[in-house]
Chain A
Amino acid sequence: MFDILIRNGKVVDGTGARAFLGDVGITDGRIVAIGPELQQEGRRVVDASGLVIAPGFIDPHTHFDVQLLWDGAAKPALEHGITSIIPGNCSLSLAPLKADDRKTLIGMFQQIEELPPEAFTQAFDWTWEDFAGYRAAIEPALAVNVAPLVGHSVIRLWVMGADAQQRAARPDEIAAMQDLLRECLEAGAVGLSTSFVDVDENARPVPSRFAQFQELDALCAVLGEFGRMLQIVPEFYDTDITIARIDQLAELSLKHRIPTTLSPVFDNRQSPNNVPRTLARIEEQTARGARVWPQMQTRPIDISFSLLRPSLFFARLPGWIKVLRLPVPERMIALRDPATADRLVADVGEDGGERLMGRLVVRGGGEAPDHLVGRTLGEIAAERGEVPARALITLSLENDLSIGFLAANGGHDSTERIGPMLANPLVHIGASDGGAHLTSFSTYGDTGYLFSEFVRKSGALSLELAVRKITSDTAEIWGLKDRGLLKPGFAADVVVFDPQIIARGEERPAFDMPGGGMRYVRDSIGIDTVLVNGEVAWSKGSYSDSATGRVCELT
């Protein structure tokens, strides 16, 4: 008798093979049988009639590092069918980190990933410094599987202290970083992450950006001892630099026999040749034997913000960020101050923000006056005889800063163009940023959006290919052992969903962060049941209290 029998579903096994009607038998956390009309019974039976049975989805680019300390399910990712996540991207991880450097790291997470400081101070006891200690802290309550990266910036901080953000490393320091990375990999890290674009809360480049290529090469030599991944954040806004980064990654991949990935890569009308040129170079380097995987996300980036909180929207406007970090009463005073407002308006450029802010749309949701909802800031500003940046300030002050704006279609802006790119075998679907950018947009539901937008609506991917791209392809790229397929002997990470309706829900605010902090989330649509290592973790709208997630074993 199986522990669980999932019966009478459309089996999409993750290989890309054609779906077939069948059952899946699970015992001791493993898949033990797949086929039509299995004869054994199950202690628990999941009726999958009319539904797809697929391997659990794997999200390769997340920042759930801190959330896992109070929420082992990485909610709401799990209810979207995500059974394995990779945190620690973009050079930032919670270990290894000396206690004295915690404030520095919190500042970077706040600036780069829009995580509130309270998330690091109010929900858990920070008891560890090394990577094994972090693993021990998250492991007991995991409901999803985790394959954590270790961040290059924190490795530099550990070895070099404050000098990590000032200079190149000496040979002895590089050797110490190699030893530290080796220790992390032995403790289960899936690889190393680094960044070439990020800055801290003081607009200072993060430590990884001060590293010479020779330092990265030395660290990749250690990755090569284990065959583990190097993840980078490239200068995604410039195609020539992105191609240069691809060439660097290819060199490292070939020399050290490691997989590498760059994320994100965007396509939009302003730079229509970016992805075609990027993929052409990837194709050339792949033909040489290099493993360089560009990650593309399924969704466009729609940034919602108000002047109540700092937002990614102002990432290139440090003067605005500085004012938005003031306590609200002081912020209101600053925004009312004519000299400050003039300075902010000047900061956005000579056009007064027409290009940057003119197409912002006033969001609904209760706070905004009805007659403004859905209109562009450019239109409203013209009526008021103001430039858009000035109108943003005055409208916000008139509404106690609560009026919301939407900057739509950043990143991708065309389903017709993105679909074939996502289907391209050289493209790694990912870059969700799950668990980050809490107050700017929801980073949950990209998998539902893949099926609703690119399988059902545009038809760019078959159901089978879409499943493969976010299951076995991901597991193979990252070396996750026995995951990503419905196959006897593999871990029973399974998602049961309705292919006719699977989608992402509307973006909505939730106030469930430590200290009552707000984040944007999306509910799942069409996900029936999610199993992690053979236990039901989510079913028909509810989480179980299972904690069967694990730190992933690697190939």
Chain B
Amino acid sequence: MALSLQRRFTTPEPDESLESLAARSLPDLPLDVAMEHIRGWNLHIFLMRRPRGLLLGGDVVFIEPPQT
């Protein structure tokens, strides 16, 4: 059985910033747009977490929006 397509994700590198993660994950986009996408697709990190936006080594960080 082939694997169905699921939402793509990455995991943070050691001490990685949002800027760095956005740049390597969405290299074809302007950095500010890429960062905004990453924030919007990962509310578990950038909205629900205290402190907001704290990136942890074990995180799943989505690099595309939810499938409709």
Q: Which residues of A contact B (CB under 8 A)?
A: 167-168, 194, 196, 203, 205, 208-213, 215-216, 235, 238, 240-241, 243-245, 247, 280-281, 283-285, 287-288, 318
Closest-CB distance, A66 to chain B (whole angstroms): 26
A-B contact count (CB 8 A): 64
Which of A210, A216, A284, A288 is within 8 Å of B4, CB to CB? A284
Chain A residues with CB under 8 Å of B66's CB are: 240
Known contacts A213-B58, A238-B44, A167 near B14 by CB under 8 Å: yes
For window 12-67 of B, CB contacts with A under 8 Å fall at: 12-15, 44, 50, 54, 56-60, 62, 66
Q: How far is it, in angstroms, between the C-alpha of A213 and the C-alpha of B56 when the chains are bound? A: 11
Nearest B residue to A244 via CB reads: B60
* Chief secondary structure at chain A's binding surface: helix
Known contacts A235-B44, A247-B6, A240 near B62 by CB under 8 Å: yes
Chain B residues with CB under 8 Å of A211's CB are: 57-58
Closest-CB distance, B52 to chain A (whole angstroms): 12
Chain A residues with CB under 8 Å of B60's CB are: 196, 235, 241, 244-245
Chain B residues with CB under 8 Å of A318's CB are: 50
Known contacts A203-B50, A235-B44, A241-B44, A196 near B58 by CB under 8 Å: yes
Chain B residues with CB under 8 Å of A213's CB are: 11, 57-58
Contact across chains for B6 and A212 when beta carbons are under 8 A apart: no
Contact across chains for A212 and B58 when beta carbons are under 8 A apart: yes
Known contacts A244-B9, A283-B1, A288-B3, A215 near B57 by CB under 8 Å: yes
Nearest B residue to A245 via CB reads: B60
Shortest Cβ-Cβ A-B pairs, 6 listed = A168-B14, A287-B1, A212-B57, A244-B60, A209-B56, A209-B58
Closest-CB distance, A166 to chain B (whole angstroms): 10
Chain B residues with CB under 8 Å of A241's CB are: 44, 60
Chain A residues with CB under 8 Å of B58's CB are: 194, 196, 208-213, 216
Q: How far is it, in angstroms, between the C-alpha of A358 and the C-alpha of B56 when the chains are bound? A: 34
Nearest B residue to A215 via CB reads: B57
* Chief secondary structure at chain B's binding surface: loop
Q: How far is it, in angstroms, between the C-alpha of A168 and the C-alpha of B13 when the chains are bound? A: 9
Would you mind naming 12 contact pairs between A and B with Cβ atoms under 8 Å apart? Answer: A168-B14, A209-B58, A211-B58, A212-B11, A212-B13, A216-B58, A235-B44, A238-B44, A240-B7, A240-B62, A241-B60, A288-B1
Q: How far is it, in angstroms, between the C-alpha of A243 and the C-alpha of B60 when the chains are bound? A: 10
Q: How far is it, in angstroms, between the C-alpha of A280 and the C-alpha of B6 when the chains are bound? A: 11
Which of A209, A238, A245, A284 is within 8 Å of B3, CB to CB? A284
Q: How far is it, in angstroms, between the C-alpha of A211 and the C-alpha of B59 when the chains are bound? A: 9
Chain A residues with CB under 8 Å of B9's CB are: 244
Q: How far is it, in angstroms, between the C-alpha of A244 and the C-alpha of B60 when the chains are bound? A: 7
Chain B residues with CB under 8 Å of A244's CB are: 6-7, 9, 60, 62
Chain A residues with CB under 8 Å of B15's CB are: 167-168
Q: How far is it, in angstroms, between the C-alpha of A95 and the C-alpha of B8 when the chains are bound? A: 36
Q: How far is it, in angstroms, between the C-alpha of A288 and the C-alpha of B14 when the chains are bound? A: 31
Chain A residues with CB under 8 Å of B14's CB are: 167-168, 212
Give 13 new A-B contacts, CB below 8 A, not counting A212-B57, A241-B44: A167-B15, A168-B57, A194-B58, A203-B50, A209-B57, A235-B44, A240-B62, A240-B66, A243-B7, A244-B7, A281-B4, A284-B3, A285-B3
Nearest B residue to A234 via CB reads: B60
Chain B residues with CB under 8 Å of A215's CB are: 57
Chain B residues with CB under 8 Å of A203's CB are: 50
Q: How far is it, in angstroms, between the C-alpha of A241 and the C-alpha of B60 when the chains are bound? A: 7
Closest-CB distance, B60 to chain A (whole angstroms): 4
Closest-CB distance, A16 to chain B (whole angstroms): 25
Chain A residues with CB under 8 Å of B56's CB are: 205, 209-210
Contact across chains for B57 and A281 when beta carbons are under 8 A apart: no
Q: How far is it, in angstroms, between the C-alpha of A203 and the C-alpha of B51 when the chains are bound? A: 9
Which of A205, A240, A284 is within 8 Å of B1, CB to CB? A284
Nearest A residue to B4 via CB reads: A284
Closest-CB distance, B24 to chain A (whole angstroms): 15
Chain B residues with CB under 8 Å of A212's CB are: 11-14, 57-58
Chain A residues with CB under 8 Å of B12's CB are: 212
Closest-CB distance, B68 to chain A (whole angstroms): 12
Chain A residues with CB under 8 Å of B59's CB are: 196, 209
Q: How far is it, in angstroms, between the C-alpha of A426 and the C-alpha of B5 when the chains are bound? A: 21
Closest-CB distance, A144 to chain B (whole angstroms): 32
Closest-CB distance, B7 to chain A (whole angstroms): 5
Which of B7, B50, B57 is within 8 Å of A210, CB to CB? B57
Q: Which of B7, B59, B60, B62 has the most CB atoms of chain A within a 10 A radius of its CB?
A: B60
Q: How far is it, in angstroms, between the C-alpha of A240 and the C-alpha of B44 when the chains are bound? A: 11
Closest-CB distance, B57 to chain A (whole angstroms): 4
Q: How far is it, in angstroms, between the C-alpha of A288 and the C-alpha of B3 when the chains are bound? A: 9
Q: Which of A203, A212, A285 has the most CB atoms of chain B within a 10 A radius of its CB?
A: A212
Chain A residues with CB under 8 Å of B54's CB are: 205
Chain A residues with CB under 8 Å of B50's CB are: 203, 318
Closest-CB distance, A505 to chain B (whole angstroms): 37
Closest-CB distance, A194 to chain B (whole angstroms): 8
Chain A residues with CB under 8 Å of B1's CB are: 283-284, 287-288
Q: How far is it, in angstroms, between the C-alpha of A238 and the C-alpha of B7 when the chains are bound? A: 12
Closest-CB distance, A353 to chain B (whole angstroms): 18
Nearest A residue to B56 via CB reads: A209
Chain A residues with CB under 8 Å of B3's CB are: 284-285, 288
Chain B residues with CB under 8 Å of A284's CB are: 1-4
Closest-CB distance, B26 to chain A (whole angstroms): 18
Chain B residues with CB under 8 Å of A280's CB are: 4
Closest-CB distance, B41 to chain A (whole angstroms): 9
